Amino acid sequence: MGNEAYLQPRVVEDFATRSALTPAEVAALGEAWPLVRGDVLDVGVGGGRTTGYLHALARSYRALDISPGMVDACRARHPGVDIRLGDARTLEGIDDASCDLVLFSFNGIDYIAYEERAQVHRAVARVLRPGGAFVYSSHNMRILGGAFPPVSLPGVKVTANPLRLAVRIARAVAARRTREANRRRLAGDQVMAQGHAVVNDEAYDHASLTVYVDPAHELDALAAAGFVDVVTIAADGRRDLDVLDDPWIYYVAWKPG
């Protein structure tokens, strides 16, 4: 997927400084509120943005991430918490039917190859108890309009100080070159298909590939994995909209009880 960006120290540091829940996350966790107080698995935990909230509420809390740097950062921020290196595609080491709630926040599922996305759905279904919930977010293909986004251009904040302005311009030029180089490197891996796209978007200077899915396509995929009664939530926390046109969509999917 070309996502070496998420192993870089500057990206790990960025994730380690984040703390707030988004309105969509508050709404999504509210949908499954009784389960938040049960046995929680926090997948793709990053720097521990969600750990402080969930660990305080859950009967038991475990977290995992595929990046060693992210795991180290999360452990440093939340000492004594069960934080492990692990792969969302297998959830190896997590027993069958041992979780009430699985959270995969901040579009983490979108940095797994699209062809392996169903593995995540199945692994989560395996570890959930009957009546458990899978809460996660994903980029919305509908915002693309059938076209890949252009390389984003860095802005320059104007200042009256000529030396400071020169430094800012030089940094913007360097950033633009980096973004254009990353686009050239990853452009051939972009895909526009029925129901999903693989996109070299602006994240971290266009250094990664991101999966975007059509919400209708994702609902079908969740049903194929055995999930039912899926709730969709927009960025501002509104649920089950007729038109799902937000950049990110949250899904709350239930394992049959």
Q: Render each residue's pLDDT in the chain as its tens digit; 257 residues.
A: 645 655 566 555 655 456 679 999 999 999 999 999 999 999 999 999 999 999 999 999 999 999 999 999 999 999 999 999 999 999 999 999 999 999 999 999 999 999 999 999 999 999 999 999 999 999 999 999 999 999 999 999 999 998 999 999 999 999 999 999 999 999 999 999 999 999 999 988 999 999 999 999 999 999 999 999 999 999 999 998 888 899 999 999 999 99
CA 42 – CA 15 distance, rounded (Å): 15
The interaxial angle of helices 9-16 and 68-77, nearest 10 deg, is: 30
Biggest alpha carbon–alpha carbon distance for the chain: 66
The pLDDT tens digits of the residues spanning 87-108 come to 999 999 999 999 999 999 999 9
pLDDT in tens, 231-240: 999 999 999 8
pLDDT at 19: 60
The pairing of beta strand 191-192 with beta strand 196-199: antiparallel
Q: CA angle, 127 as apex, 121 and 128 as ends, to 5°? A: 85
Contact 217, 187 (CB under 8 A): no
Domains of the chain: 4-145+210-254 (3.40.50.150)
What's the confidence (pLDDT) of residue 222? Answer: 98
